[in-house]
Amino acid sequence: MNTIKQFVLWVDEPIEHVISHKMLAYIDFLRQRNLSAKTINCHLDSIRGFYNYLIEEEQVAIANPVKHGYALRLSQPLPRYVRQEHVDRFLKVITSTRDRAIFLLMLRCGLRVEEVFKLTLAALDLRRSQVFVQGKGAKERVVYISDDTYDALLRYLKRRKWLREKKVFLVEKGTYKGKPISVRGIQKRMEYYARKAGLRIGCHQLRHTMATELLNAGADLVTIQDLLGHSRIKTTQRYSKVSNLKVKRDYFKAMAVVMKRTS
């Protein structure tokens, strides 16, 4: 109601007479107040809903001046990765063989927490150092296992006692011992180790770290897209904005060729 009140006071004319061009002027007014794009979009949603109410409930014969295209584009936050010294500190505090395998699958293979939860024994192909992952939208992909992840998985599987359970990662203590560990259970383990290491990191940041490190090591964006299971290359390209090391290396490498030609 406060949002609508602000609009009615600003418009200074009967609301039935407001047209689309007036709404564009109102958007400019809100931007001049240095409101964020998200806040401005909330204003527009409220006003659009108000006009829909007048049209549908009160049967007022007017057109809604807030068209659906009237929304500011929201900036997407860049992926946050974990610096190498913090990765080392995080891994150092993990004592459980199960938990080490879980978090290395995120850090080295780029698995989401839900993908780790869904992982079955049948999906592991240790002989070929690969894992079949069921991702978002039931899309499947193949990821490859680094040497340290392979060792961690092998150590965990050797001491894993419950042979009939198909899921890989199981609860090891308490009432639900031997049952699959839940997504929230994995997240709680992350919170525990992050707190123990004195870090503020989450499961998804390990996946971001894997992508950033691969890019810095010279991997192609298309390769990273395939490993992460991104539908669009645009999603993967966000890592290019974070990964300045590769940009810097590519620049000086290319500039050396340019300068050689010039001389």
Rounded Cα distance between 27 and 21, Å, is: 10
* Torsion (CA) 42, 44, 46, 51 in degrees, nearest 10: -170
Give yes or no: residues 98 and 188 share one domain.
Answer: yes
Q: Identify the domain boundary among 174, 204, 234.
A: 204
- How many structural domains compose the chain? 2
Q: Are 214 and 223 in contact (CB under 8 A)?
A: yes
Q: Identify the domain boundary among 164, 185, 204.
A: 204
34 Ramachandran zone, left/alpha/beta (phi>0; psi -120 to 50): left
Tell how far CA 158 is from the center of its chain.
Answer: 33
Catalytic, out of 112, 160, 189, 208: 112
User: Is 21 designated active site?
Assistant: no
Instruction: Report the SS3 class of residue 167.
Output: strand
User: Is 86 designated active site?
Assistant: no
Burial of 228: CB neighbours in 10 Å, binned 0-12, 13-18, 19+ = buried
Inside any domain, residue 77: no
| CATH code for the domain in which residue 116 is found | 1.10.443.10
Catalytic, out of 43, 207, 208, 246: 207
Give yes or no: residues 171 and 109 share one domain.
Answer: yes
Give yes or no: residues 18 and 107 share one domain.
Answer: no
Rounded Cα distance between 74 and 207, Å, is: 23
User: Is 248 designated active site?
Assistant: no
Give yes or no: residues 137 and 179 share one domain.
Answer: yes
User: Is 92 designated active site?
Assistant: no
The predicted-structure confidence for 74-85, as pLDDT tens digits, reads as follows 666 556 788 889
The gap between the terminal CA atoms of the chain, to the nearest Å, is 69
Residue 147 has what pLDDT? 93
Give yes or no: residues 40 and 131 share one domain.
Answer: no
Catalytic, out of 48, 108, 208, 230: 230
Rounded Cα distance between 206 and 201, Å, is: 8
The predicted-structure confidence for 160-189, as pLDDT tens digits, reads as follows 988 789 999 999 999 999 999 999 999 999
The predicted-structure confidence for 14-70, as pLDDT tens digits, reads as follows 888 888 888 888 888 888 888 888 888 888 898 988 888 888 888 888 888 888 777
Residue 263 has what pLDDT? 63
User: Is 22 designated active site?
Assistant: no
Give yes or no: residues 90 and 140 share one domain.
Answer: yes
Inside any domain, residue 218: no
The predicted-structure confidence for 187-233, as pLDDT tens digits, reads as follows 999 999 999 999 999 999 999 998 888 888 888 888 888 888 888 87
Give yes or no: residues 89 and 187 share one domain.
Answer: yes
Catalytic, out of 118, 141, 204, 238: 204
Catalytic, out of 22, 136, 166, 200: 136
Inside any domain, residue 250: no
* Runs of H (alpha helix) within the chain: 2-11, 20-32, 37-56, 84-92, 97-109, 113-118, 147-159, 183-197, 203-216, 221-228, 233-242, 244-262
The predicted-structure confidence for 94-117, as pLDDT tens digits, reads as follows 999 999 999 999 999 999 999 999
Catalytic, out of 48, 208, 239, 246: 239
Q: Are 219 and 208 in contact (CB under 8 A)?
A: no
Give yes or no: residues 121 and 184 share one domain.
Answer: yes
The predicted-structure confidence for 122-155, as pLDDT tens digits, reads as follows 999 999 999 999 888 778 899 999 999 999 999 9
For the cut 70, the answer to whether the pLDDT of residue 247 exceeds it is no
Residue 58 has what pLDDT? 86
Give yes or no: residues 88 and 200 share one domain.
Answer: yes
User: Is 127 designated active site?
Assistant: no
Residue 87 has what pLDDT? 93
Instruction: Report the SS3 class of residue 16.
Output: helix
Residue 78 has what pLDDT? 58
Residue 76 has what pLDDT? 61
Inside any domain, residue 90: yes
Domain of residue 179 covers 84-204
Inside any domain, residue 239: no
The residue to which tokens 């359970």 are assigned: 165
- Residue 130 token pair: 């690969």
For the cut 90, the answer to whether the pLDDT of residue 249 exceeds it is no
Q: Are 212 and 204 in contact (CB under 8 A)?
A: no
Inside any domain, residue 9: yes
Inside any domain, residue 25: yes
- The strand order across the sheet containing 130-134 reads 124-125, 130-134, 140-144
Does this model's pTM top 0.85?
no
Inside any domain, residue 190: yes
